[in-house]
A and B are shown apart, each in its own frame.
Chain A
Amino acid sequence: QKEVEQDPGPLSVPEGAIVSLNCTYSNSAFQYFMWYRQYSRKGPELLMYTYSSGNKEDGRFTAQVDKSSKYISLFIRDSQPSDSATYLCAMGPGANSKLTFGKGITLSVRP
């Protein structure tokens, strides 16, 4: 089993839809969880950061962590075409205290 698995996508939704992006993981030592957003031909940027279990909300974005199920989610409400990007989950500390990234999912929001 891979340490971090992310839904492969791609995902296409109409503008205004609620989007759910998910990752599962196998390492119970992971304590902090991040979502990075990467626009085409750009570097990733941190979108959400959560420590341990629970929810965190920032505007239209909600990050959810369920450590008992080893499952994290990113919800996007009222999705906009500007949300079209690749979303990568990341978590740690892993081996050598480094972050482990999911493979990323490409989201397209249709006007």
Chain B
Amino acid sequence: NAGVTQTPKFRILKIGQSMTLQCTQDMNHNYMYWYRQDPGMGLKLIYYSVGAGITDKGEVPNGYNVSRSTTEDFPLRLELAAPSQTSVYFCASSSIAPTGELFFGEGSRLTVL
């Protein structure tokens, strides 16, 4: 089973560039999340979605946008990349919220220079 698939795995951006991190899940989960993980800082929630067409901000949404047009896909858009967005980004999904197990992708490692 594929589970949660993220692309790309690695990317280097220049300051001011934009890009989209892709996330797809094949478990028919309604709940999807984007986290960023910085060294020694744990996981910070950027955006989440409770179903197709519904998204909401997490703790650290500034500089990011999301959309959820289908149950399977939850892309994260970075506009005007800044060095502070250098991080590892994880997409996750869950069938039950807030008590359900989160299934994570393998991460997208982004460097902004």
Interface residues of A (CB under 8 A from B): 6, 8, 32, 34, 36, 41-46, 49, 51, 88, 92-93, 96-99, 101-104
Contact = CB atoms under 8 A, between A and B. Distances in A.
Given A42-B107, A98-B58, A104 B42 contact: yes
B34 interface: no
Given A51-B99, A104-B42, 7 more contacts: A8-B40, A34-B101, A43-B92, A43-B107, A93-B99, A98-B48, A98-B98
A53 to B, nearest CB: 16
Q: DSSP majority for the B interface?
A: loop
Interface of B: 4, 40-43, 45, 48, 56, 58, 90, 92, 97-99, 101-102, 104-107
17 contacts: A6-B42, A41-B106, A42-B106, A42-B107, A43-B4, A43-B104, A43-B105, A44-B43, A44-B104, A51-B99, A93-B98, A93-B99, A96-B58, A99-B102, A101-B43, A103-B42, A104-B40
